[in-house]
Amino acid sequence: MAISKICHQMNTKVDCKFKPEKDFTGRKLYNYQGSWYYPNTVQAILNFQTHFQARDSDIILASLPKSGTTWLKALAFAVVHRNKYAPNLESHPLLSDNPHNLVRFLELDLYVKNQCPGLEELPSPRIFATHVPFQTLHESLRDSPCKVVYVCRDIKDVLISRWHFRSKLVSNYSLGDIIDEYIKGVCFFGPFQEQVLSYWKESLVNSNPLLFMRYEEMIENPDAQVIRPADFLGCSFSEEEKQSGMVEKILELCSFGNLSNLEANKTGTSTCGIPHHGFFRKGGVGDWKNHLTDDMARKLDEMVKKKLEGSGLKFE
């Protein structure tokens, strides 16, 4: 649908200060509340901002694409629902379905073709996910104190992950192209550092309960990185659970090795239209070193340093 029709239909103005820009393939991107989107995503965000009724018990998982969303979705689902589904249960939903179908995206899935996707019928606590920046999410929550868990990752690993992912869809997509996109900031859900900063700044003022996590820390100290969200979400592990190895069982269930080898994740397509196997590549930290030249890495590091200057947030 044309963007003007979307604006008219929703009686809302997309920020027209910015002319639409084109992505590498020539598709138009529009700026809405500081981020760049394709028209169908703008419409989904407008649907979501207009119609979403947040419950105080809701949990929202937020991230940039390729920052650890799939992992966070699996962990949050396993932690929150551990009383209903023990992590060693043979019929655990994570063994037969992809994490993206168990925790669905608001603007990339639920609200894409639907103003009212029937979310009021879901039992509490509901878990949703989003890639939009905090200011756009915040508007949709309408002062509900629901909890937000944000995960970020070194932009160089995000870039390499996204480059591999998109190279399967777009031919002749060079590393130079994606680096230019990242530095200019005009790419789907970009500019990226602004998105990270929106959640970082919110985590400092905490007007909404927000847990700020890093993919690298989750890899380095997995136990703590499961215990922290459980504490934050109000479902701390009891001593008894810790003694019984509950944390380790959840970590094993949600590990890259386990999830990526499941038949359910090798085949099939997610509710947002992406083949399940596309969410699993290599996992881990620092794969950018195998792809980026020193010059490319320096360019990206400088961009990030400049954007984050004075914020207190650093990526070493």
Residue 131 designated active-site: yes
**What is the DSSP code string of the chain?**
--HHHHHHHHT----TTSPPEE-TTS-EEEEETTEEE-HHHHHHHHHHHHH----TT-EEEEE-TTSSHHHHHHHHHHHHTTTTS-TT-TT-HHHHS-HHHHSEEIIIIITTS-S---GGGSPSSPEEEE-S-HHHHHHHHTT---EEEEEE--HHHHHHHHHHHHHTTSTT--HHHHHHHHHH--STT--HHHHHHHHHHHHHH-SS-EEEEEHHHHHH-HHHHHHHHHHHTT-PPPHHHHHTTHHHHHHHHTSHHHHHHSHHHHS-B-TTS-BGGGG-S--SS-GGGGT--HHHHHHHHHHHHHHHTTSS----
Evaluated on CA atoms 150, 154, 156, 162, the torsion sign reads negative
Residue 287 or 301 with smaller CB distance to ligand PAP: 287
Q: Give whichever of 146 and 254 is closer to ligand PAP, judged by the CB atom.
A: 254
- Tell me whether residue 6 or residue 98 sits nearer to ligand PAP (CB atom): 98
Single out the catalytic residue among 131, 164, 277, 291.
Answer: 131
Q: Least CB distance from residue 29 to ligand PAP, whole Å? A: 17
Q: Does 128 bind ligand PAP (CB under 6 A)?
A: no
Among residues 33, 63, 130, 140, the one that binds ligand PAP under rule CB under 6 A: 63
* 140 or 161: CB nearest ligand PAP: 161
Least Å distance between CB 131 and ligand PAP? 7
**281 touches ligand PAP by CB under 6 A:** yes
Which CB atom, from 213 or from 259, has the smaller least distance to ligand PAP? 259
Q: According to CB under 6 A, which one of 57, 256, 275, 299 is a site residue for ligand PAP?
A: 256
Member of 34, 93, 275, 283 binding ligand PAP (CB under 6 A) = 283
By CB under 6 A, the residues from 144 to 203 that bind ligand PAP are 157, 161, 164
Q: Does 71 bind ligand PAP (CB under 6 A)?
A: yes
Q: How many residues bind ligand PAP (CB under 6 A)?
A: 22
In this structure, what are the phi and psi dihedrals at residue 60, rounded to the nearest 5 degrees? Answer: -115, 125
Residue 40 or 255 having the CB closest to ligand PAP: 255
Q: What part of residues 23-62 is at the interface with ligand PAP (CB under 6 A)?
A: none
Pick from 45, 108, 152, 259: which binds ligand PAP (CB under 6 A)?
259
Nearest approach, Cβ of residue 254 and ligand PAP (Å): 6
State the pairing for strand pair 59-63/127-130.
parallel
Contacts of residue 38, Cβ cutoff 8 Å, sequence gap at least 6: 27, 28, 29, 30, 188
**8, 266, 282, 289: which one contacts ligand PAP (CB under 6 A)?**
282
Polymer length of the chain: 316
Which one of 128, 134, 212, 279 is in contact with ligand PAP (CB under 6 A)?
279
The distance of closest approach from Cβ of residue 163 to ligand PAP in the complex, given in angstroms and rounded to an integer, is 9
Binding site for ligand PAP (CB under 6 A): 63, 65-71, 74, 157, 161, 164, 254-256, 259, 279-283, 287
Residues with a catalytic annotation lie at 131
